[in-house]
Structure 1
Amino acid sequence: MKEYTAQLSNRGGRWHLYVALLDVQGCSWPEHDFGPSPIVPTAAARSRALAGLGFVFTDDAEWAWTEHSEIVDDDASPVLLLASTRVRSRDGDAP
C-alpha cells in the first residue's frame, strides 16, 4: 500500500492537519482545520481528522515533532512547530 506524509502545523494560532499527495495528479493537500486554539490537538482528534480525510495511520506510525524558523537563518525568528507521521488511504491505494 502506498504511504503518504501527514503533517500538523500551527500558523496564526490555528492548527492545520494535511496530507501531502505530491505524486497524485500533480499535487493536492487534503486538510482539516482545527480552528483557533493554543492547545495541540490530541492524538485522538488527529486520528478522527485523518479518518475524515480518508486516511489511517500506518502500522508503525509515530508523530515526529520538528521546529522551523519562520524566517530562515534568523536566530531571532519565531519558531514554527511541525509534526509529521506516515499514513495510508483508508480504502486501499487510491487517496
Structure 2
Amino acid sequence: MTHSARLAKSCLAGWEIYIVTDSPSPGDWPEHSFDRVSSVPTLAERTAALTLLGYEAVDGAKWEWHELDDDETGPVRFLGVLDVRRIPSGDDR
C-alpha cells in the first residue's frame, strides 16, 4: 500500500514532513519537524526523516512540487509530495 509523504513549511514550526495515511484525522499521521524555517531540507535529510518514520520512497518516485496560492495577491507556498510505502519488517520480506 502506498501513501503520500508531504513536505511543507508550517506557520509555527518551520519545515515538516508528514505521511498521509488512511486515518481521517491528520493528528494521527506520522510527522517529523526539521525545527527550522529557512532552507528547504535536503534530499538526504528528507530520506532520513522518512526512515525514522518507518517509510521509504516507492521505486522510481521523485519529489513533486506544488504551488499553493490562496489568492492572487497573497504569498505563495510550496508543497513537496512523494509516494512512499512502509519499510518492510523482517517478517514482510
Aligned structure 1 segments of 4 or more residues deviating by more than 6 angstroms:
none
TM-score (norm 1): 0.83
Deviations 1:39-94 (A, max 9, x none): 0000000000000000011111100001101x3xx2001111100000000126xx
- Matched to 1:7, the amino acid is R
What residue number does 2:41 align with?
41
Q: Which runs of 5+ in 1 are unaligned?
A: none
What residue number does 1:86 align with?
83
TM-score (norm 2): 0.84
Deviations 1:8-65 (A, max 9, x none): 00123710100000x24x4431000001231000000000000000001111110000
Residue identity over aligned pairs, in percent, reads 35
- CA contact 2:9–2:37 (8 Å) conserved in 1: no
Q: Give aligned pairs, total.
A: 87
The correspondence of residues 1-95 of structure 1 with structure 2, limited to 5 A, is 2-12=1-11, 14-21=14-21, 23-24=22-23, 26-27=24-25, 28-69=28-69, 71=70, 74-91=71-88
Q: Which runs of 5+ in 2 are unaligned?
A: none
